Amino acid sequence: MEPPLVRPSDAETARELANVVAEPLLPAEKWLIGGSLALGAALLGLLLWISRTYFPVGS
């Protein structure tokens, strides 16, 4: 990654942020958030099981 060449000033950043308009969550965004969290929860169990079964560690 290359560092950004031109960094906006604080005033420009503040202006940009002041212009941010709230947008309602679209169904696709809800699906993305919910799907990501659900997949995370489901995979947690699976990955832990694989870790402990196939990649055990001694003490």
Partner 1 sequence: MKSWLRTEDILAVILGLLIVAMSLCSLAGANVLGWAVSVKEWADPAKALVPASSAYAGLTGPGALVATFVFLIVVLSAGAKFLCSDPARFAGRFSLLFVFAFACWVIGHNSYIAATPNRRPPGVGWSLGLTGEAGYLLALLGGLAIGNLFPRVATWFKEAARPELFIKAGIVVYGAVLGAKAAEEAGRTHAILFRGLAAIIEAYLIYWALVYLIARKVFGFSREWSAPLASGISICGVTAAITTGAAIRARPVVPVMVSSLVVVFAVIEMLVLPGLAHWLLPNDPMVAAGWMGLAVKTDGAAFSSGEIVAAFYFPDPADPGRKAMALTTTTVKVFIDVFIGVWAVVLSAIWSWKIDKREGGKLPWREIWERFPKFVFGYALTFGAFFFLGQASPESIADLKRGTEQADVFRRIFFVLTFVSIGLATNVRRLWAEGLGKLALVYVVSLFGFVIWIGLAISWLFFHGVPAGGR
Task: Answer whether 11's CB lies under 8 Å from 18's CB.
Answer: no
- x/- track of binding to partner 1 for residues 31-50 (CB under 8 A): -xxx-xx-xx--xx--xx-x
Per rule CB under 8 A, is residue 53 in the interface with partner 1? no
Distance of CA 51 to the CA centre of its chain: 24
Per rule CB under 8 A, is residue 2 in the interface with partner 1? yes
Q: Contact residues for partner 1 (CB under 8 A)?
A: 1-4, 6-8, 10-18, 20-23, 25-26, 28-29, 32-34, 36-37, 39-40, 43-44, 47-48, 50-51, 54-59
